[in-house]
Amino acid sequence: MGRRTDAYLPAMAMIGLQFIYAGVALFTRVALVKGLSPRVFVVYRQGFATLLIAPIAFVSRRKNSSRSSLGLKGFGWILFASLLGVTANQNAYFEGLYLSSSTVTSAMTNLIPAVTFVLTAILGLEKLNIRSLTTLAKILGTVICVGGAISMALLKGPKLLNTQLLPPKSLLGTGGETWLMGCLLLLASSFFWSLWMVLQVPISAICPDHLYSSTWMCFLATLESATVALLVEKDVGAWSLNSYLDLYCCLYTGMALAVSFFVQAWCISRRGPLFASVFNPLCTVIVAVFAAVFQHEETYTGSLVGAFAVIVGLYIVLWGKAKDLEQREHESDPTLLNDQTRVVQDVSSDKSCQVDLETPLLPDKFTDGDDMGMNQN
């Protein structure tokens, strides 16, 4: 019974994490609509996440005998990743959430695997073989994902549920322009987050201590987000948290950021990154249901069709990636090669047995001599 429970723990953890992500999208949307500045919110969220993760990283490094240092090169990679993958990503994400809706925001995050595939293909980290079915599946899934995202942004279609809920104020327009700009910002956020994932390759090679590098990343992102907010927000009153909702939202999202790091790292170590990515569309379903019921968000036909296309495209990409991983494991697994060698040896031994059975017990010259002798007699 205990072994079965341990086998289901990664799946249960990822399902719980999707509910946490859904809570971030839902609660943050309410706080932003009620007047909380997206840029100030990013500063507070990163600050709370840094305060939570820094003591844990400090204790972990005290207990760990082999401490890895960053160096100038590693610090430069982390600074670049925090600037684009965290600061630019978070500002674009929450501004897009503010201008669009919780459902569209959660659906747009499913673009990340497809965008990551495009970036890795451009950088040469992903091998492409047009004649391979897995490569064609990944390309087709990417096209479907991007097409679904475009349809969500441009083809709203007939309204299915609820009335229109627009932000009380917007820096980038109103009505349809607000919705379109929100979708474009969410698309940019997916690109920045995919770039962050790609940048983890050189960062992990320099600093294997992910907790230590993540602490530095959160700290630098807090400073960078504060700089952006100070340049953009001219109103000093925007920095004040006017309600318990604003305070709880910042605390909750900061804790969610810290918890998601540990849960994803643990699940990936147990089942791999592909396993963690499969659960992303579940967040879209959770947000769509709760947003329509409790927040009375408007639901359009184009949004539902686009979200469905994004999810289908995501699973096509993941299927292609899974087949690639299976092929690589099959080629690199020495046990499989040994099994193949044994099969070849068995086949060759069978052939040798067959040859031995077909070979006469006496040589041809002896049989010929006997025949001659018998003929002489």
List CB contacts of 267: < 8 A, sequence separation 6 or more: 10, 13, 14, 275, 276
Q: What is this structure's pTM? A: 0.71
Q: Is there a contact between 260 and 70 (Cβ–Cβ < 8 Å)?
A: no
Greatest mean pLDDT among 20-34, 191-205, 271-285, 313-327 lies in 20-34
Question: Does pLDDT of 66 surpass 60?
Answer: no
Distance CA 200, CA 283 (A): 24
Residue 301 CA: distances (Å) to CA of 22, 131, 159, 161: 21, 36, 6, 10
**What is 296-309 written as a DSSP string?**
---EEHHHHHHHHH
Q: What is the pLDDT of residue 227?
A: 94
| pLDDT, greater one: 344 or 332 | 332
Q: Is there a contact between 138 and 320 (Cβ–Cβ < 8 Å)?
A: yes
| pLDDT, greater one: 355 or 148 | 148
Q: Is 331 in a helix, a strand, or coil? A: helix
Distance CA 156, CA 175 (A): 12
Question: If you search the block for the tokens 């010259």, which residue do you land on?
Answer: 365
Per-residue confidence band for 223, with pLDDT thresholds at 50, 70 and 90 = very high
**What is 207-218 written as a DSSP string?**
---HHHHHHHHH
Per-residue confidence band for 362, with pLDDT thresholds at 50, 70 and 90 = very low
Q: What is the pLDDT of residue 42?
A: 92
| pLDDT, greater one: 7 or 186 | 186
Question: What value does the mean pLDDT of the chain take?
Answer: 75
Per-residue confidence band for 351, with pLDDT thresholds at 50, 70 and 90 = very low
Q: What is the pLDDT of residue 157?
A: 62
Q: Is there a contact between 37 and 24 (Cβ–Cβ < 8 Å)?
A: no
Q: What is the pLDDT of residue 273?
A: 61
| pLDDT, greater one: 307 or 360 | 307
Q: What is the pLDDT of residue 219?
A: 92
Q: What is the pLDDT of residue 173?
A: 46
Question: Does pLDDT of 371 surpass 70?
Answer: no
Q: What is the pLDDT of residue 224?
A: 94
Question: Does pLDDT of 122 surpass 80?
Answer: yes
Q: What is the pLDDT of residue 155?
A: 66
Average pLDDT (73-82) is: 90
Q: What is the pLDDT of residue 166?
A: 46
- Which one, of 265, 269, 277, lies nearest residue 322 by Cα? 277
| Domain ranges within the chain, ordered by starting residue | 12-327, 336-376
Would you put residue 163 in left (φ > 0), alpha (ψ -120 to 50) or beta?
beta
Distance CA 250, CA 39 (A): 12
Greatest mean pLDDT among 66-70, 87-91, 146-150 lies in 87-91
- Which one, of 113, 296, 262, 266, lies nearest residue 198 by Cα? 113
Q: What is the pLDDT of residue 367?
A: 43
| pLDDT, greater one: 288 or 344 | 288
* Per-residue model confidence as pLDDT tens digits over 36-52: 889 999 999 999 989 98
Question: Does pLDDT of 73 surpass 90?
Answer: no
Q: Is 101 in a helix, a strand, or coil? A: coil
Q: What is the pLDDT of residue 369?
A: 43
| pLDDT, greater one: 146 or 176 | 146
